[in-house]
């Protein structure tokens, strides 16, 4: 079969490799759709990910497909089932799992290799984080479950309530997901965007107000002016991962509010924060990483129920042969600030319809 393999910084190659075989408790999927992801782009740019992978390694982690083989001991699934397999599963026995922090599992098992014709799903993920896709849901929509699960957890951890005001800084794929999930939850969303072409997307996904930083002299003042009585937002989500926007987030939140530093900056990144404001303003600063089996199921319900605008989120399509040039072009678009794409669906098996059923 053909698979995309990451060898290092901006070094992604298509290779012919053996079709994997299922071991005990495992599944083999024919990949129906795999999605591009900001994390994959970051890994492509840096050439590694400290937790998820070490090159050379099969690449990609957001996918859905059809079961083609079941390993010994698998009873929940059978060949022909349409499933979404998440990219990780916790051990449920370590300190963190026992303290309801499965996202921080000391033995968190990751799986990569979505940009391929077939993928092996490890037994632990089969048992804990693989879900049957209803017949009406296309593969590319089901594959949104993984990033959406991270966002769902971030929203839950932020404690936003219906009627609250939330500011989302950043209108990339994750920022837009935050806007939409918050809007579905009845939260008033203010978006902060970098480019004019992001205004329409932020509005589509639920932002009631949008601040384009290129159109205002003081983004902090412009955002605070849109909050009730100008006191700041109840919750601020930082989804850019640069020091400047981390600092903005602390200045935008109200007294007693919550800032969630969701964007993942490079190791060693430093920021300067107003400690007086944080202390006397009784501000909560937190960060959210990854997902849990529970938030995966909440996200999957949003996707399969039709409440999440999946079709609007998939803005492009590609074949497996396109993947290396696709990531190179994504890098160039980001450098030039011209991309209007949100997510591209890669179809490794173009003859397999997203409507495949048992």
- The token pair at 38 is 């900001």
Could you give the maximum distance between any two Cα atoms of the chain, in Å?
Answer: 63
Looking at domain 2-144+308-347, its CATH superfamily turns out to be Medium-chain alcohol dehydrogenases, catalytic domain (3.90.180.10)
Domain range list for the chain: 2-144+308-347, 153-286
Helices H / strands E in the chain, number of each: 13, 18
Query: What whole-number percentage of the chain has pLDDT above 90?
Result: 87
- The token pair at 44 is 């492509």
Reported confidence tier of residue 351, pLDDT bands at 50, 70, 90 = low
**What is the rounded distance in angstroms from the CA atom of residue 78 to the CA atom of residue 192?**
46
Q: Exposed/middle/buried for 132, CB within 10 Å: 0-12, 13-18, 19+? A: middle
**What is the rounded distance in angstroms from the CA atom of residue 138 to the CA atom of residue 86?**
16
- Mean of pLDDT values over 68-81: 98
Q: 148, 174 in Cβ contact below 8 A? A: no
Sheet holding 2-8, edge to edge: 11-16, 2-8, 57-58
pLDDT for the residue 334: 57
Query: Are 2-144+308-347 and 153-286 the same fold in CATH?
Result: no
- Give DSSP secondary structure letters for 194-233: SSTTHHHHHHHTT-SEEEEGGG-S-HHHHHHTTSGGG--E
Per-residue pLDDT of 243-291, as tens digits, reads 999 999 999 999 999 999 999 888 899 999 999 999 999 999 999 999 9
**What is the rounded distance in angstroms from the CA atom of residue 155 to the CA atom of residue 332?**
31
pLDDT for the residue 50: 62
Class of domain 153-286: alpha beta
DSSP state of 307: -
DSSP state of 263: S
Q: What is the mean pLDDT of the chain?
A: 94
Reported confidence tier of residue 42, pLDDT bands at 50, 70, 90 = confident
Phi and psi at residue 100, to the nearest 5°: 60, 35
**What is the rounded distance in angstroms from the CA atom of residue 185 to the CA atom of residue 61?**
27
pTM to 2 decimal places = 0.94
**What is the rounded distance in angstroms from the CA atom of residue 200 to the CA atom of residue 221?**
22
């Amino acid at each position: 079969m053909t698979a995309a393999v990451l060898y290092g910084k901006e070094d992604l190659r298509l290779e012919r490799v053996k079709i994997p075989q299922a071991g005990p408790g495992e599944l083999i999927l024919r990949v129906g759709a795999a999605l591009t992801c900001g994390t994959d782009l970051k890994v492509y740019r840096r050439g590694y990910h400290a937790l998820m992978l070490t090159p050379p390694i099969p690449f990609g982690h957001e996918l859905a497909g059809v079961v083609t083989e079941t390993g010994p001991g698998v009873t929940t699934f059978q060949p022909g089932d349409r499933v979404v397999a998440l990219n990780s599963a916790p051990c449920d026995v370590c300190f963190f799992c026992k303290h309801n922090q499965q996202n921080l599992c000391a033995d968190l098992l990751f799986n990569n290799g979505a940009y391929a014709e077939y993928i092996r799903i490890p037994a632990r993920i089969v048992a804990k984080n693989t879900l049957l896709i209803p017949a009406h849901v296309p593969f590319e929509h089901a594959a949104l479950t993984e990033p959406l699960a991270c966002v769902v957890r971030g929203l839950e951890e932020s404690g936003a309530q219906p009627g609250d005001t939330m500011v989302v800084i950043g209108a990339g794929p994750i920022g837009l997901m935050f806007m939409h999930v918050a809007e579905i939850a009845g939260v008033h969303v203010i978006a902060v965007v970098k480019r004019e072409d992001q205004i329409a997307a932020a509005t589509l996904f639920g932002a009631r107000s949008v601040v384009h930083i290129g159109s205002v002299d003081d983004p902090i003042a412009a955002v605070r002016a849109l909050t009730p009585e100008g006191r700041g937002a109840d919750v601020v989500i930082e989804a850019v991962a640069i020091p400047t926007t981390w600092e903005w987030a602390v200045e935008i939140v109200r007294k007693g509010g919550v800032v969630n530093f969701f964007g993942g900056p490079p190791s060693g990144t430093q920021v300067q924060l107003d400690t007086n404001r944080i202390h006397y303003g009784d501000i909560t600063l937190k960060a959210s990483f990854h997902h849990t089996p529970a938030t995966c199921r909440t996200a999957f319900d949003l996707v399969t129920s039709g409440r999440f605008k999946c079709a609007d989120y998939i803005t492009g399509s590609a074949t497996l042969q396109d993947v290396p040039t696709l990531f190179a072009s994504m890098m160039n678009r980001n450098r030039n600030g011209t991309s209007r794409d949100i997510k591209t669906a890669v179809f490794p098996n173009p003859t397999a319809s997203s409507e495949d059923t048992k």
